C-alpha cells in the first residue's frame, strides 16, 4: 500500500504564534462571505457526543468581530480560551480577542465554568450554538477544553489551514451534552525501541488530545535503551541512551529531567496526563549493560538492538536491585504530578514465578510509598500486592481468571487487548510498518469491541478505561507514528469516551471519512484504509 505523500509539520509551531496572530488587524482579514458550503452536521465529531440536538435556522457564523469570553477570574478557563483562539486565528485571520466580559452586541463564544451539573463530571461539557452566540459550560477547565475540541471539529475543515482561507465559518445550530464513559483514555508511545524527540512527543500529544485522550503513557525503558535521566544512576542514560541504543543501532536519545518536566507541562495544557513506565523485572538489558551489578553474576550482558523479548531479568535476590528500583521510583515519582507510575512487569520469561512474586511483593508497595498508584501490565495481577494497583490487560484472549480474581480484590483494569488496541500491529499483510504477532488490525477491528465486556467475568465497574499502545520496534519518526496511530487511535478514543448506545460502525466510518482531510491539511500522515470512503 502506497503511503500518502505528506510533509511533516509540527502543530507545536501552529500553536505558538499568538503574538503574530493577535496583531493581525481585523481589517487586514479577507472578506468572509465567499464560502457557502454547509458546516459539518452537529454531532459529526469523533468521539461522538452523548446527546446531540440540532436546531434548524440557528447556525452561528464566526466573523471578524467574534470575541471569545472566558469565565472571569479563572486562569484555567482563560488558558483554554487563549489556546482555542490561537487554533482558530491562522485559518480565519480574525483577531478573536479573549476577554473576561464581552459587549452584548458582538458575536461571542463563551467558555464558562459552573455548569452545576453533576452528570458532566470533571471532563464533560454542554455546548449550545445559536445565531449570535456559542456557549460551552463545564464544571472544570478540562470540560471546557473537551468542548473546544468538539467545536474545532464542528467548524468547516478549512479551519485546519495554517494560512488564511476565505470562506464562511459557520457552526450548525443546536446543543450537545457530552461526558466521558471512562475516566482513563490513554495512548502509549514506546520511546525505548526507537527514541522519539520531545517535539515528536508534543506533536503526538496535540493530535491525541483532539480526540479527548487524557493520558499519555511513555514506555521509557526496555532491553535496547533507557530514555529518562535518573540522577542517582547516571549511566542509565549516558550509556543506555547513548549512540546505537535504538533498534538496529539507531540513536542516541533520552529525555533529560528538564525535557520531561517540560513535556509534562505541555501535555497538561492539553489536559493530558503523562504516565511514566519503567519496565521491570524483565526488559532490563539496557540497565544491566550500564550497571552490571544489576545482574546476578555481575557481568555486563552485551548490548542488544534486536527485537527479541523475554530474555533479561533483574537479580531478584540482590539488595542492589531494590536500591536501584527504589531510587528510580523515587526520582520518577518526583517528576510525576499525575496519579500513576507504571512498573511494566510484562513478559518476564527470564524470571521464575516465585521470583516474580517476591519482586512484586517488594516493588508494588514502593510505588505507594512515593505517593503514586502502581500500574503494570496484566502479569502483575499474579501478585496479591496488586490489589490497589491498575493492571493493563494486553492479552489477546477473552478470558483471564487471574485478572478477574485480582479485580475482585480491588485491582482496576485498563483494556488494551493486543488484537484490538495494539496500534503497532499491521493493518493488513501489505502494511510496510508494524508487527503482526497479534494479527492484522484494520480500522473496523480496532473499533468493533467493547472494553466493558471484552474480558469474561470482569465487571464493568472494574474497568478504568482503555489504552492504545504504540510500540516502536519498526517506527523511526513522526510520520511512522502517525501512519500507525491514525485512523485507529480515534477508534479507541471513541470506545473510551462515547456511550455504548452510540456505538455504530456506519456512523463512525462516515465521521472518519470526513475527518481525513483535516489530517491532510495539517500534514499528519495516516493510513487511507480501504474500509473508509475518504472524502
Interface ranges with ligand TNX (CB under 6 A): 309, 346-347, 377, 394, 418, 422, 424, 435, 471, 473
In angstroms, the Cα distances linking 340 to 277, 278, 327, 371 are 9, 12, 17, 9
Q: How far is the CB of 333 from ligand TNX (least distance, A)?
A: 22
Pick 471 or 527: Cβ nearer ligand TNX: 471
Write down the catalytic residue from 347, 442, 467, 494.
347
Active site residue 347: yes
Helix (H) or strand (E) holding 39, with range, is none
Helix (H) or strand (E) holding 319, with range, is helix 319-334
DSSP one-letter code for 270: T
Pick 178 or 379: Cβ nearer ligand TNX: 379
Burial group, residue 533, by CB count within 10 angstroms (0-12, 13-18, 19+): exposed
Which among 503, 479, 478 has a CA at the least distance from the CA of 491? 503
Q: How far is the CB of 347 from ligand TNX (least distance, A)?
A: 5
Pick 67 or 441: Cβ nearer ligand TNX: 441
509-512 own/partner pairs: CB under 8 Å, 24+ apart: 509/443, 509/444, 509/533, 510/44, 511/44, 511/45, 511/46, 511/48, 512/46, 512/443, 512/487
> Whole-angstrom Cα distance, residue 303 to residue 287?
10
8 Å CB contact between 87 and 106: no
The CA-to-CA distance between both ends of the chain, in Å, stands at 19
Q: How far is the CB of 423 from ligand TNX (least distance, A)?
A: 10
Pick 54 or 439: Cβ nearer ligand TNX: 439
Q: How far is the CB of 351 from ligand TNX (least distance, A)?
A: 14
**Phi and psi, residue 445, nearest 5°:** -65, -40
Q: What is the three-class DSSP state of 117? A: coil
Pick 377 or 447: Cβ nearer ligand TNX: 377
DSSP one-letter code for 13: H
Question: Can you tell me which residue has the cell 450548525?
Answer: 172
Pick 90 or 345: Cβ nearer ligand TNX: 345
Q: How many CB atoms lie within 10 A of CB 215?
A: 24
Pick 393 or 515: Cβ nearer ligand TNX: 393
Q: How far is the CB of 434 from ligand TNX (least distance, A)?
A: 8
8 Å CB contact between 175 and 147: no
8 Å CB contact between 257 and 267: no
Q: How far is the CB of 376 from ligand TNX (least distance, A)?
A: 9
> Whole-angstrom Cα distance, residue 213 to residue 207?
9
Q: How far is the CB of 208 from ligand TNX (least distance, A)?
A: 19
> Whole-angstrom Cα distance, residue 312 to residue 294?
11
Residues with a catalytic annotation lie at 347
Amino acid at each position: 500500500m502506497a503511503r500518502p505523500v505528506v510533509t511533516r509539520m509540527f502543530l507545536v509551531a501552529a500553536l505558538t504564534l499568538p503574538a503574530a496572530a493577535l496583531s493581525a488587524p481585523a481589517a487586514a482579514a479577507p472578506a468572509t462571505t465567499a464560502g457557502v458550503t454547509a458546516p459539518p452536521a452537529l454531532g459529526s465529531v469523533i468521539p461522538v457526543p452523548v446527546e446531540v440536538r440540532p436546531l434548524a435556522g440557528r447556525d452561528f457564523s464566526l466573523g471578524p468581530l467574534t470575541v471569545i469570553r472566558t469565565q472571569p477570574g479563572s486562569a484555567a478557563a482563560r488558558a483554554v480560551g487563549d489556546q482555542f483562539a490561537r487554533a482558530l486565528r491562522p485559518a480565519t485571520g480574525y483577531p478573536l480577542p479573549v476577554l473576561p466580559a464581552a459587549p452584548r452586541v458582538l458575536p461571542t463564544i463563551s467558555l464558562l465554568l459552573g455548569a452545576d451539573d453533576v452528570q458532566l463530571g470533571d471532563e464533560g461539557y454542554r455546548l449550545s450554538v445559536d445565531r449570535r452566540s456559542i456557549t460551552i459550560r463545564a464544571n472544570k477547565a478540562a470540560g471546557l477544553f473537551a468542548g473546544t475540541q468538539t467545536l474545532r471539529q464542528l467548524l468547516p475543515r478549512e479551519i485546519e489551514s495554517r494560512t488564511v482561507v476565505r470562506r464562511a465559518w459557520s457552526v450548525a445550530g443546536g446543543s450537545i451534552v457530552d461526558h466521558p464513559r471512562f475516566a482513563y483514555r490513554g495512548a502509549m508511545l514506546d520511546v525505548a525501541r526507537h527514541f522519539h524527540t520531545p517535539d515528536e512527543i508534543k506533536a503526538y500529544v496535540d493530535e491525541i488530545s483532539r480526540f479527548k485522550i487524557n493520558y499519555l503513557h511513555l514506555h521509557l525503558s526496555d532491553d535496547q535503551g533507557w530514555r529518562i535521566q535518573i540522577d542517582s544512576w547516571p549511566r542509565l542514560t549516558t550509556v543506555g541512551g547513548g549512540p546505537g541504543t535504538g533498534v538496529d543501532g539507531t540513536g542516541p536519545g533520552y529525555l533529560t529531567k528538564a525535557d520531561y518536566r517540560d513535556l509534562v507541562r505541555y501535555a497538561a495544557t492539553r489536559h493530558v496526563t503523562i504516565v511514566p513506565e519503567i519496565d521491570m523485572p524483565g526488559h532490563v538489558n539496557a540497565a544491566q549493560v550500564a550497571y552490571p551489578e544489576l545482574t546476578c553474576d555481575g557481568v555486563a550482558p552485551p548490548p542488544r538492538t534486536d527485537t527479541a523479548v523475554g530474555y533479561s531479568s533483574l537479580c531478584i535476590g540482590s539488595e542492589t536491585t531494590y536500591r536501584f528500583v527504589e531510587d528510580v521510583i523515587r526520582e520518577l515519582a518526583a517528576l510525576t504530578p499525575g496519579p500513576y507510575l507504571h512498573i511494566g512487569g510484562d513478559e518476564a520469561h527470564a524470571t521464575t514465578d516465585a521470583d516474580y512474586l517476591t519482586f512484586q511483593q517488594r516493588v508494588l508497595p514502593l510505588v505507594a510509598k512515593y505517593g503514586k498508584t502502581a500500574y503494570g501490565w496484566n502479569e502483575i495481577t499474579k501478585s496479591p500486592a496488586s490489589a490497589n494497583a491498575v493492571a493493563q490487560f494486553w492479552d489477546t484472549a477473552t478470558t483471564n481468571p487471574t485478572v478477574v480474581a485480582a479485580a475482585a480484590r480491588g485491582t482496576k483494569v485498563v483494556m488494551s487487548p493486543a488484537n484490538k488496541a495494539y496500534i503497532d500491529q499491521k493493518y493488513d499483510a501489505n502494511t510496510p510498518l508494524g508487527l503482526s504477532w497479534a494479527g492484522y488490525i484494520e480500522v473496523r477491528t480496532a473499533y468493533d469491541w467493547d472494553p466493558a465486556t471484552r474480558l469474561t467475568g470482569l465487571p464493568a465497574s472494574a474497568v478504568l478505561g482503555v489504552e492504545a499502545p504504540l510500540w516502536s520496534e519498526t517506527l523511526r519518526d513522526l510520520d511512522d507514528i502517525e501512519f500507525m496511530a491514525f485512523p485507529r487511535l480515534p477508534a479507541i478514543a471513541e470506545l473510551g469516551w462515547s456511550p455504548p448506545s452510540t456505538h455504530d460502525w456506519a456512523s463512525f466510518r462516515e465521521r472518519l471519512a470526513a475527518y481525513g482531510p483535516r489530517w491532510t491539511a495539517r500534514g499528519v500522515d495516516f493510513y487511507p484504509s480501504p474500509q473508509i470512503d475518504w472524502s
